Amino acid sequence: MQINCYIMIYGSLITGIILILTGLIARNNPDLIAGYNTLSQEKKAKIDTDKLTRITQKYMMLTGLSVISIGTILFYILILMKKHNLMF
């Protein structure tokens, strides 16, 4: 069974880009953060939305960059394995 490396790299890139874009969008729209939009107005007033959106943005962007970098590393490892006939 031959592994198609290009499907893996495209999947990693698309997933990473979606996560990064979600982080950028959540920065300006705190209602997109899970659970925040269901809070009452009194509870929303107690939350520092600037800090919450900054943390969410950083987390989503870090996760997206991690997915892209790990997918890219695995892609090149598989390419090297194919080149040297190390596929099992």
This prediction has a pTM of 0.82
Q: How confident is the model at residue 23 (pLDDT cuts 50, 70, 90)?
A: very high
| Amino acid residing at 29 | N
Q: What is the mean pLDDT of residues 5-26?
A: 92
87 located within any domain: no
Q: How confident is the model at residue 8 (pLDDT cuts 50, 70, 90)?
A: confident
Range of the domain at 70: 5-82
Q: List pLDDT tens digits, range 27-68.
A: 899 888 888 889 899 998 999 999 999 999 999 999 999 999
The total number of structural domains in the chain stands at 1
68 located within any domain: yes
10 located within any domain: yes
Contact, 44 vs 36, CB < 8 A?
yes
Is the pLDDT assigned to residue 2 strictly greater than 60? no
Query: How far is the C-alpha of 80 from the C-alpha of 42, rounded, in Å?
Result: 57
